[in-house]
Amino acid sequence: MLAFLLPLIPAFIGPILNYFTAVKNSQVQLFQAKTGAAEEVAVAALQAQAQVQSKWWFAALPPALIGATIAGYVAKSILWDKVIGSFVGCSGHTAPGTCMVFNTDPLAPELNWVFMAVIASYFGTAVVDKFLTAK
């Protein structure tokens, strides 16, 4: 089985590496367009920025944890309760005391607002960033 899967690895990794290369090249071109710097200077500046960001990994941790919490709730309530629960007959109204594993409590009104704020901030940040960087 492993002998069958090993030749497939380059087929999956190649497009991913090509994507990351294209992203990096577009970042270099964008930096060059904004600053008028040479390609070597742009690459060095982007590498320095990446080093600084890697040293500040703990600053990116709270938003990632909050996002993972929301994603976990969505995965539990939709994927586990609705999709997998429907395959075992626990979707919709069931007899009391049955299918307790496939039942997620609804969010309280306060948490509902937190949930919506997190979702809006994750998607709204990209929109605001695009608006601010557009010329």
Same domain (yes/no): 23, 34: yes
Dist. CA 102–CA 107, nearest whole Å: 16
Instruction: Please report which residue ranges of the chain form alpha helices under DSSP H.
Output: 2-5, 9-35, 39-55, 57-74, 85-87, 109-133
| Residue 101 and residue 37 in one domain | no
Same domain, 92 and 131: yes
Do both 49 and 31 map to the same domain? yes
Q: For 4-57, what is each residue's pLDDT tens digit?
A: 666 777 777 777 778 878 888 888 888 888 888 888 888 888 888 888 777 777
Task: Note whether 102 and 41 are same-domain residues.
Answer: no
Domain check: are 95 and 33 in the same one?
A: no
63 and 126 fall within a common domain? yes
- 101 & 130 share domain: yes
Range of the domain at 41: 1-55
- Dist CA 15 CA 120 (whole Å): 31
Same domain, 28 and 77: no
Q: Are 78 and 134 within one domain? A: yes
Which amino acid, 32? Q
Q: What is the pLDDT of residues 85-128, one digit of tens each?
A: 888 878 767 767 777 788 888 888 888 898 999 888 888 887 77
If asked whether residues 69 and 124 sit together in one domain, one would say yes
Q: How many domains does the chain have?
A: 2
Same-domain pairing of 129 and 105: yes
Model confidence pLDDT, tens digit, residues 59-77: 778 888 998 999 999 899 8
